[in-house]
Amino acid sequence: MCGINGIVGINDKSIAKQKIIAMNDRMRHRGPDDEGIFVSGKIAFGHRRLSIIDISAAGHQPMQSPDGRYQIVYNGEIYNFKELKFELQRVVSGSDQQSFPFQTNTDTEVVIAAYARWGADCVNHFNGMFAFAIWDDQHKELFIARDRLGIKPLYYCFTNGVFAFSSEVRSLLASDLIPKKLDEDSLIDYLRYQTVHAPDTIVKGVKMLMPGHIIEMKKEQLKIKKYWGLTSNISKASEGKSYTEVCKDVNQLLTKSVERRLIADVPFGAFLSGGIDSSAIVGMMSKVSTEKVKTFSVTFDESEFSEAKYAQFIAKKFNTDHHEIKLKPSDFIEQLPHALKAMDHPSGDGPNTFVVSKATKEAGITMALSGLGGDELFAGYNVFKRSLELNKKAWLNLMPTFLRGAGASILLKAKPSVASEKIAELLKQNKINFNSFYPITRQVLMDQQILKIVNRAILPVNEVSQIISEIGLNDKPTNKQPLTTTSIAEISTYMQNVLLRDTDQMSMAHALEVRVPFLDPVLVEYVLGIPDNYKSTASPKKLLVDALGDLLPPEIVNRPKMGFTFPWKNWMKNELKSFCEQKIVSLSKRIFFNEQGVIGLWKAFLNDDPRVTWARIWILVVLENWMQENGIEG
């Protein structure tokens, strides 16, 4: 795990080098073990290294191929690199393929060799999380790729004939190649969903390479191509199989995924909340690892938010070396400025991962496994149940729109709340289906609230609606596979653009690598192909639990779902009140915002207005803090 940077198109080598150094310095936290720079002609690469596999000096980057033709900067892990290395060392009889002369034990060199052998098709051979760039000095071409599910980030900008890329937005800003300006349409996306959906970012002119995509730059022309997608790679391997056979397959695939992710030359551990997903990963690790697993969990003085007893139960069952990080409000307040400072792109989530990552790293761990992705794959969120219920309410479309609108108004007056606002918004849609329902479920600030706090009369198209439309989910009959449809929507929006981005930026703030076994592409493709009648929501993640057999005890399977969260409301009205108020007042005076509307929203929260929860205020606090930290205009 590392940080990568690159610039193509600056003629003056000294200027290019100066900018790469500035970009490297801005993300020093991502790679404390080593630093490297390569400048030649119009190309400049920079790298910060966090050593995980082959921690010797042989893994230094940028890395050059033995013949000097290729240069690479690479961030991530290729879990099948040993198998690929064996294949690339083999000379195929009767072909012109040559064995690659490997000089290191790194997966980085395997990526170079794979590109030398297969070109752009190399990405189809990789199982891992990655973002990398390869410069072909012979053809003067640049190749960039990002992993299938978007676990590792890659940002870029292309302005005035100069192309630059990086693992972080802040590194691009440090290059001074792009103005530090807020993108007004992306701001609305952020207010709606506490993030900005790729390929856009909050900064005007900065883009994010989409998961499963590559960039090819030839003769100063940029081409972006898709090599993998969720809906086009759903496996049919479960067709015709019994439920028992499918459970066996899921168990084997998850076990293999965990095994792959334990390959490392550094100490490793796992995040443990005591929920089904993290407990499953810890159980699997304990089963396949030859070492005692180290586990880490956050606990609170406020017992209603603490999952300590569940984490302790699992730690005892699997005999892990368990570490509890007990938080008081004063502890959190002390760490909060550091967590916000670590935020590369504004997000409504993240400080929780920052805290547990910090403690994990301080315990001597460099790599940790996480249960992220289990909810999305195995129907763990309430949105999956609501998707099933939606099909039973198709009769609402027979009702005239004005009648549904009247019902919405009555509901809002009788029971004002966030839930009521979302139901009312759905009732007012021209047609009630998955395409109108899903974008509302994950929305933070509703459009009417946004219009009151921004200085614009018309809002841009809803990005989540666009994503669903582009991947064709609204064209699929949701009454046939509503759970799979919801999985694809969750992975394509919330997971990729909130959870994975936050996990990367907050863990890498401490130079900690986080691996996510549930997001092994082979497992994802298989589970998405399992028919919905095997993915019951009658009990929590029933398919996953049944696939695990007796690995998890009933105390964990049947416990109430709490989620990994902090008691924000309490803190924001007490210990954090002054901090939040300062940020809210400052944000309200910015050009894009309506001062009266922003202050009114803050007062409504303080007065316990049920329509204004802490999350609707926190995203504003985070945004202002991030803009101040990075000198962003807007």
Phi, psi angle pair for 48, to nearest 5°: -120, 130
Which residue stretches of 398-481 are H helix? 401-414, 418-427, 434-441, 447-453, 463-470
Query: Which pair of tokens denotes residue 223?
Result: 């081409």
CA–CA dist 482, 484 (Å, integer): 6
- 8 A C-beta contact, residue 28 and residue 74: no
Exposure b/e, 375-413, CB count within 10 A at least 16 = b: bbbbbbbebbebbbebeeeeebeeeeeeebeebbeebbe
Q: Provide the residue count of the chain.
A: 634
CA–CA dist 145, 322 (Å, integer): 37
CA–CA dist 18, 21 (Å, integer): 5
Closest CA to 473 of 440, 439, 498, 441: 439
Strand residue runs (E) in 262-384: 268-271, 294-300, 321-327, 367-369
- 8 A C-beta contact, residue 260 and residue 354: no
- 8 A C-beta contact, residue 3 and residue 47: yes
| CA dist list (Å): 289 to 52, 262, 275, 295 | 17, 8, 21, 13
CA–CA dist 306, 326 (Å, integer): 9
Show the CA angle centred on residue 610, arms to residues 275 and 421, nearest 5°. Answer: 90
- 8 A C-beta contact, residue 514 and residue 370: yes
Query: Which pair of tokens denotes residue 305?
Result: 């938010």
Rg of the chain, C-alpha, whole Å: 24
Phi, psi angle pair for 618, to nearest 5°: -60, -40
Query: Which pair of tokens denotes residue 507?
Result: 């863990």
Q: Assign 53 to helix, strand or coil.
A: coil
Catalytic member of 2, 122, 157, 580: 2
Question: Measured between alpha carbons, how far apart are the two ends of the chain, in Å?
Answer: 33
| CA dist list (Å): 466 to 330, 439, 470, 552, 580 | 42, 9, 6, 39, 33
Q: Assign 73 to helix, strand or coil.
A: strand
Other C-beta atoms lying within 10 Å of the C-beta of residue 226: 11
Element (H, E) at 25: helix 13-26
Other C-beta atoms lying within 10 Å of the C-beta of residue 328: 12
For this structure, is 122 an active site residue?
no
How many DSSP H helices and E strands does the chain contain? 26, 17
Show the CA angle centred on residue 391, arms to residues 389 and 395, nearest 5°. Answer: 110
CA–CA dist 316, 322 (Å, integer): 8
CA–CA dist 278, 321 (Å, integer): 15
- 8 A C-beta contact, residue 459 and residue 451: yes
Other C-beta atoms lying within 10 Å of the C-beta of residue 189: 24
Mind telling me the catalytic residues? 2
